[in-house]
Amino acid sequence: MPDAAVGAIAFVTLLTIMVGARGIRVARTPDDFMVAARQVAPALNAAAISGEYLSAASFLGIAGLVVAQGLGALWYSVGYTAGYLVLLLLVAAPLRRFGAYTIPDFAVGRLGSRGLRLTATALVLVIGWFYLLPQMKGAGITLQWVLGTPYWVGVATLGTVVSCNIAMGGMKGITFVQCFQYWLKLCAIGIPALVLLIAAGHGSSPNLTPDRAPVFTRATVVDLPQATGFTLTRATQATVTGLVDQRAYRDQAVRLCACQHVAGAGTRIGFAAGAPVPVSLAMEPSSGESWDSPLLASGTGGAHPLAATYGVIIATFFGAIGLPHILVRFYTNPDGEAARRTTLIVVLLLSSFYLFPTVLAVLTRSHAPQLYLSTDSDSIVLALPALLLPGLPGELLAALVAAGAFAAFLSTSSGLLVSVAGALSHDFLRRGVTTFRWCAIAAGAIATVAALLIDRFSLALLVGWAFAIAASSFCPLMVLGIWWPRLTRAGATAGIAIGGGSCVAAIVSTMLGAATRGWGAVLLGQPAIWTVPLAFGVMIAVSLLTQRTVPANVAQVMLRMHLPEALSRQAYRTVSQASWLGPDQRPPGP
Amino acid sequence: MSATDSGCPSPAGGAGGPTPAGTTPAGTTARAADGQADPVPAVQATRQRVVWRPDQVLIQHDIPGLSDLRDGTSAGRLLVRSLVRAQLGLSLMCLAFALTVTASFPVIAAMVPAVTRITVDGVPLTLIVLGFAFYPVFLAVGWFYNRHARQLELRFTHLLDPAGRRPDA
């Protein structure tokens, strides 16, 4: 199996570098370098946006989390898609018409303040790095699974490839790369899902029946490559070769009680059809909710699942607006109308993609429940093809999945690194392409080191947290900035700092294990449920208190954001340059 | 859009003609002396210096509403505000619909647990709803929004720029 998978991963990586290298020759000016010169057709652009957006969480994380935690984890895929619908409804066209490269640029163009720019840039870096970590983790476990290398090898490989590629190619190359990556990812998850669905055959499985613990549908022998702790829900007979609960067996029938057990590395356990499925400690659902419940309790210790579910819904629905690496793409649309069309195509492309992680998760539950003994929920998608389809076809499908997963890490981390490096070079340091290259390398190195510390968190959970930070800082800034003329500098700065700051604080304290039970766990583990309303509230309240500082040119800026291009073109065509001062230099109207 | 309809100068109102009811008299003076950011009320404007600038007279004639937007006259501000409000109303309506459809499901499931035990041909209803059913809703809402937002903008464009009206639009 490793040969095919290694070949596929190497192929994807080389192809990415080559397509990126082609971009070097095309990129001439800094403008080309940053935003692909605004000449991208909607369908191509939509594929590029989707390619950049579908990350490790979508590819490996959601399916794994659904298997481990239950159907409630599907709220992540619903939310990641709905995020684009919300983006379409609230910001797509005005944002394109405004015409700035990054969120800090938007903040300054709309409200004009150096302090606000620094706050926004700091948040871009926090969200970008938070989002880079799960990509690195995904690469670590994928290479670990394919090659058996230590976790850090995969992390370092991805960090190096992406940093060097960005430093050489910029975004022109990346637009083509991202477009190619979307279709690669769709094939890499769609083809295995459909083939395995056909191979698994039709007929309902007892494991999908509501309120029922999973059982083996046929006699199954499970190999445990590493020492694994697992729990049984009821006592069962099993044939064991190896070490269970510190006792060595050789092909002996053992009665395992309904309690926790520990199996040694290399142990092989045979279960009869109908036996209960043992669940490894790493995969244990955190709540008492049954698998088919639509509520989600990930990251909150199982407390108050309804509140936790709404936390995920708010974070994912409103988080996409505030993701720094996604907004840059909207400036590559020729006009606002095209931006809306592009966004709708993105919703279509994402919807098609997210059908397949669901299929893979359900197949795992119904036909390969032995994967409940995995040591990490994120590796389930990688392991599934070989179990359902033995022999060469299974190996090839597994290679395809590994390649797609690697494509997911490459594309998302490229987009993120462009925006993080852009924020560093564009906003913190002096402008210029050379600085941008060095910032890309430095930012990649920092993310690589940080990723070594977070390997115990689920991919979907980590990405969900990045969305929560974005939703409680930049989402209010964009929405109020576009639709509410009375927003002020002080209001925006306070909202970003308090909303984003409290969200980051809550997440970091969850990572450090501050609260594991009760309301504390919910409010810290899924903070979006209170930090998003808080950010909106602070932004509105402080703005109302500082109405004297509403920017003088607000009417002109609103005009620029909302006037259809047909009219603004008319104005530019018929009015001579002398009498059109441009929105920024004009005195305010009466 | 009713505010826009009443507040917009009609095409006949160009070239210094009387503005329709609903706009301020300032609109008239602003047209007579274009480029002047702060229009003088009509009552005080007994003597006025008129500067002949051919390009601007042309604009006045062709697209009467656009100069109001550019100069931020009260008519222009009213026009922009009505456009922004109409767009925001459309967005919020679509958003409310999509949120109601999706976000009501956890509450329903928590209040009526029997819903989560329904299976359709061996497949749990929860799986069908969360895994597949919401995506067509999102696409339909997005399509509806795009269509109507485009129509709103076309209507606004025609309102301000009757000269640019094309037979096919």
DSSP per residue, A376-432: -GGGHHHHHHHHHS-SHHHHHHHHHHHHHHHHHHHHHHHHHHHHHHHHIIIIIS---
Helix (H) or strand (E) holding A240: strand A236-244
> Is A208 at the interface with chain B, CB within 8 A?
yes
In this predicted structure, the answer to whether residue A63 has a pLDDT above a threshold of 70 is yes
Q: Domain tally for chain B?
A: 2
Structural domain contains residue B61: yes
**Count of beta carbons in the 10 Å neighbourhood of residue A446:** 14
Of B77, B109, B130, the one marking the end of a domain is B77
Indicate whether B107 and B62 sit together in one domain: no
Place of tokens 């390009």: B55
Q: Tell me the per-residue pLDDT of A92-142, one tens digit each, with 9 for 90 and over.
A: 999 888 877 778 888 888 988 778 888 999 999 999 988 898 889 888 888
Residues A460-481 have a mean pLDDT of: 92
Residue-wise DSSP of A434-460? HHHHHHHHHHHHHHHHHHTT-TTS-HH
Q: Determine, for residues A208 and B122 on separate chains, whether the beta-carbon distance falls below 8 Å.
A: yes
Please report the pLDDT score of residue A291 as a whole number.
82
Higher pLDDT residue, A182 or B30? A182
Q: Which band of pLDDT confidence, cut at 50, 70 and 90, is reported for residue A16?
A: confident
Please tell me the least confidently modeled range out of A11-20, A35-44, A53-62, A150-159: A35-44
C-alpha–C-alpha distance, residues A322 and A19, integer Å: 28
Residues A298-323 have a mean pLDDT of: 86
Percent of chain A surpassing pLDDT 90: 24
**Count of beta carbons in the 10 Å neighbourhood of residue B93:** 15
Indicate whether B109 and B44 sit together in one domain: no
Q: Which band of pLDDT confidence, cut at 50, 70 and 90, is reported for residue A189?
A: very high
Instruction: Please report, in angstroms and rounded to a whole number, the separation of the first and last CA atoms in chain B.
Output: 19
In this predicted structure, the answer to whether residue B20 has a pLDDT above a threshold of 60 is no
DSSP 8-class letter at A223: E
C-alpha–C-alpha distance, residues A580 and A585, integer Å: 10
Indicate whether B148 and B118 sit together in one domain: yes
> Is A89 at the interface with chain B, CB within 8 A?
yes
Q: Select from A293, A340, A589 the Cβ nearest to the Cβ of B71.
A: A589
Indicate whether B19 and B73 sit together in one domain: yes
Q: Determine, for residues B80 and A209 on separate chains, whether the beta-carbon distance falls below 8 Å.
A: no
CA distance A460 to chain B (A): 16
Q: Kindly report the backbone phi and psi dihedral angles of residue B23, in degrees, each rounded to the nearest multiple of 5, phi listed first.
A: -90, 160
C-alpha–C-alpha distance, residues A209 and B122, integer Å: 7
One-letter identity of residue A6: V
Structural domain contains residue A301: no
Indicate whether A177 and A247 sit together in one domain: no
Q: Tell me the per-residue pLDDT of A504-560, one tens digit each, with 9 for 90 and over.
A: 999 999 888 877 777 888 888 889 999 999 999 999 999 999 999 888 888 888 888
Structural domain contains residue A288: no
**Hey, is A267 helix, strand or coil?**
strand
Q: Which band of pLDDT confidence, cut at 50, 70 and 90, is reported for residue B27?
A: very low
Cα–Cα nearest to A107, from A371, A420, A494, A521:
A494
Structural domain contains residue A415: yes
> Is A576 at the interface with chain B, CB within 8 A?
yes
Q: Determine, for residues A74 and B80 on separate chains, whether the beta-carbon distance falls below 8 Å.
A: no
Residues 132-151 of B with CB under 8 A from A: 132, 134-136, 138-139, 141-143, 145-146, 149-150
In this predicted structure, the answer to whether residue A345 has a pLDDT above a threshold of 50 is yes
Indicate whether A260 and A353 sit together in one domain: no
Q: Select from B62, B87, B164 the Cβ nearest to the Cβ of A562.
A: B87
Indicate whether A481 and A404 sit together in one domain: yes
Structural domain contains residue A459: yes
Structural domain contains residue B95: yes
Q: A276-296 as b/e, with b when 16 or more CB fall inside 10 Å?
A: bbbbbebbebbbebbbbbbbb
Q: Determine, for residues B95 and A90 on separate chains, whether the beta-carbon distance falls below 8 Å.
A: yes
> Is B98 at the interface with chain A, CB within 8 A?
yes
In this predicted structure, the answer to whether residue A431 has a pLDDT above a threshold of 60 is yes
Q: Tell me the per-residue pLDDT of A263-295, one tens digit each, with 9 for 90 and over.
A: 888 888 888 888 888 888 877 766 666 788 888
CA B61 to mean position of chain CA atoms: 24
Residues A151-169 have a mean pLDDT of: 84
Please tell me the least confidently modeled range out of A437-446, B39-48, B126-135, B141-150: B39-48
C-alpha–C-alpha distance, residues B155 and B83, integer Å: 10
Higher pLDDT residue, A246 or A491? A491
In this predicted structure, the answer to whether residue B128 has a pLDDT above a threshold of 60 is yes
Of A232, A256, A276, the one marking the end of a domain is A276
Three-state SS across A105-127?
Answer: HHHHHHHCCHHHHHHHHHHHHHH
Structural domain contains residue A540: yes
Number of residue pairs across A and B with CB atoms under 8 Å? Answer: 183
Indicate whether A224 and A336 sit together in one domain: no
- Identify the closest residue of chain A to B127 by CA–CA distance: A71
Going A476 to A481 to A484 to A487, the CA torsion angle's sign is: positive
Which residues make beta-bridge pairs with A224? A267
Of A260, A276, A292, the one marking the end of a domain is A276
Residues 37-76 of B with CB under 8 A from A: 37-39, 53, 55-56, 58-59, 62-63, 66, 69-74, 76
Cα–Cα nearest to A91, from A333, A310, A256, A287:
A333
Angle at CA of residue A110, ends A551 and A342, nearest 5°: 155
Query: Max CA-CA distance within chain A?
Result: 93
Q: Determine, for residues A294 and B153 on separate chains, whether the beta-carbon distance falls below 8 Å.
A: no
In this predicted structure, the answer to whether residue A222 has a pLDDT above a threshold of 80 is yes
CA distances to A78, A105, A110, A327 from A100, in Å: 29, 6, 10, 10
Judged on CB neighbours under 10 Å (0-12, 13-18, 19+), A191 is middle
Structural domain contains residue B62: yes
Indicate whether A398 and A442 sit together in one domain: yes
Q: A556-566 as b/e, with b when 16 or more CB fall inside 10 Å?
A: bbbbbbbbbbb
Say if CB A144 and CB A158 are below 8 A apart.
Answer: no
Higher pLDDT residue, A32 or A353? A353
Please report the pLDDT score of residue A583 as a whole number.
40
Indicate whether A176 and A82 sit together in one domain: yes
In this predicted structure, the answer to whether residue A171 has a pLDDT above a threshold of 60 is no
- Identify the closest residue of chain A to B82 by CA–CA distance: A562
Indicate whether B72 and B37 sit together in one domain: yes
Indicate whether A357 and A462 sit together in one domain: yes
Domain span at residue A235? 215-276
**Hey, is A174 helix, strand or coil?**
helix
Q: Which of A22-26, A169-173, A289-293, A404-408 has the highest mean pLDDT?
A: A404-408
- Identify the closest residue of chain A to B141 by CA–CA distance: A85
Judged on CB neighbours under 10 Å (0-12, 13-18, 19+), B12 is exposed
- Chain A residues near residue B136 by CB distance under 8 angstroms: 351
Residues 45-64 of A with CB under 8 A from B: none
Structural domain contains residue A553: no
In this predicted structure, the answer to whether residue A173 has a pLDDT above a threshold of 60 is no
pTM, whole model, 2 decimals? 0.83
Percent of chain B surpassing pLDDT 70: 56
Structural domain contains residue B84: no
Structural domain contains residue A154: yes
Indicate whether A525 and A473 sit together in one domain: yes
Indicate whether A196 and A219 sit together in one domain: no
**Hey, is A242 helix, strand or coil?**
strand
Residues B117-129 have a mean pLDDT of: 87
- Helices A62-69 + A336-367 axis angle, to 10: 40
- Chain A residues near residue B149 by CB distance under 8 angstroms: 93, 340
Indicate whether B39 and B11 sit together in one domain: yes
The per-residue pLDDT of chain B, averaged, comes to 71
The alpha carbons of chain B give a radius of gyration, in whole angstroms, of 25
One-letter identity of residue A283: M
CA distance B136 to chain A (A): 8
Indicate whether B116 and B149 sit together in one domain: yes
Contact partners, residue A7, CB within 8 Å, separation at least 6: A399
Q: Which band of pLDDT confidence, cut at 50, 70 and 90, is reported for residue B43?
A: low
Indicate whether B104 and B139 sit together in one domain: yes
C-alpha–C-alpha distance, residues A115 and A105, integer Å: 12
Domain span at residue B153? 91-164
Percent of chain B surpassing pLDDT 90: 30
Which residues make beta-bridge pairs with A241? A268
- Record the tokens describing residue A212, joined without a space: 């029922």
Higher pLDDT residue, A51 or A85? A85
Q: Tell me the per-residue pLDDT of A379-420, one tens digit each, with 9 for 90 and over.
A: 888 889 888 888 888 888 988 888 888 888 888 888 788 888
The per-residue pLDDT of chain A, averaged, comes to 83
Indicate whether B105 and B157 sit together in one domain: yes
Q: Domain tally for chain A?
A: 2
**ipTM value for the complex:** 0.88
- Record the tokens describing residue A283, joined without a space: 């995969």
Q: Determine, for residues A310 and B106 on separate chains, whether the beta-carbon distance falls below 8 Å.
A: yes
Please tell me the least confidently modeled range out of A82-91, A575-584, B30-39: A575-584
Interface test with A, best of B83, B116, B157 (most A CBs within 10 A): B116
Indicate whether B20 and B62 sit together in one domain: yes
Q: Select from B58, B62, B135 the Cβ nearest to the Cβ of A351.
A: B135
Indicate whether B95 and B73 sit together in one domain: no
C-alpha–C-alpha distance, residues A204 and A413, integer Å: 39
Cα–Cα nearest to B77, from A562, A481, A555, A587:
A555
Residue A457's CATH number: 1.20.1730.10
- Identify the closest residue of chain A to B146 by CA–CA distance: A340
Of B10, B44, B77, the one marking the end of a domain is B77
Residue-wise DSSP of A11-60? HHHHHHHHHHHHHHHH--SHHHHHHGGG---HHHHHHHHHHHH--HIIII
DSSP 8-class letter at B117: G
Cα–Cα nearest to A240, from A261, A222, A225:
A222
Q: Kindly report the backbone phi and psi dihedral angles of residue A484, in degrees, each rounded to the nearest multiple of 5, phi listed first.
A: -120, 105
Of B77, B103, B122, the one marking the end of a domain is B77
Indicate whether B73 and B98 sit together in one domain: no
- Helices A459-471 + A74-90 axis angle, to 10: 30
A418-421: list long-range contacts, CB under 8 Å, 24+ apart.
Answer: A418/A166, A418/A170, A418/A171, A418/A174, A418/A325, A418/A328, A419/A102, A419/A124, A419/A128, A419/A324, A419/A325, A419/A328, A420/A124, A420/A125, A420/A128, A420/A129, A420/A132, A420/A324, A421/A166
Please report the pLDDT score of residue A169 as a whole number.
63
Which residues make beta-bridge pairs with A270? A221, A239
C-alpha–C-alpha distance, residues A289 and A295, integer Å: 8
Residues B127-142 have a mean pLDDT of: 95
Residues B154-159 have a mean pLDDT of: 85
> Is A306 at the interface with chain B, CB within 8 A?
yes
Say if CB A69 and CB A292 are below 8 A apart.
Answer: no
